[in-house]
Amino acid sequence: MSRVVTTRSPEETERLAAGLAKRSKPGDVICLIGPLGSGKTTFAKGFARGAGFKGDVTSPSFGLVREYRAGRRTVYHMDLFRVAPREIPNLGLEEYFADPRGICLIEWPGAARRILPKRRLEIRFSHRKDGRLLRLSDRGGI
């Protein structure tokens, strides 16, 4: 699946993410790629809420991973912005990918590209005058 979507507000980005969360299933890995301020964390907020999480959703920039328990699923929201590729093997990220109840959202996934599952969804965010552009690319049949 490849799809291009334009969202014109943060709320619209959150609604799109919530819809995707309702169709996602444990084992899914979703990579959020784009420059600072392009909507990755906004997307993660909408996704967690769409999955059923009721609390606050914040960027895991300094904590690396935040867990959002949503019924029978757990959304793992990762931010690898400050992580060097050489650090990845010591972080145990594969355990999150293998969690039978988990869905992983990864901001700045570039450092982990060598260990990312082949089956994943990549969403590339970019700025537009009228909002943001999201390019969704299915890798391996999500």
Structure-block tokens of residue 42: 């906004």
Cα–Cα distance measured from residue 124 to residue 100, given in angstroms and rounded to the nearest whole number: 26
DSSP element (H, E) containing 32: strand 29-33
Q: Given the structure tokens 């169709």, which residue do they identify?
A: 23
What's the predicted TM-score (pTM) here?
0.92
Q: What digits encode the pLDDT tens for the residues 96-138?
A: 999 999 999 999 999 999 999 999 999 999 988 888 999 999 8
**Pairing outcome for strands 2-7 and 73-79:** unpaired
Cα–Cα distance measured from residue 133 to residue 117, given in angstroms and rounded to the nearest whole number: 25
Q: What digits encode the pLDDT tens for the residues 3-17?
A: 999 999 999 999 999
User: Which residue stretches of the chain are H helix?
Assistant: 10-23, 40-51, 93-98
Phi-psi region for residue 20, left (φ > 0), alpha (ψ -120 to 50) or beta? alpha
CATH superfamily of 2-139: P-loop containing nucleotide triphosphate hydrolases (3.40.50.300)
- Residue 8 exposure: Cα atoms within 13 Å on the Cβ side: 1
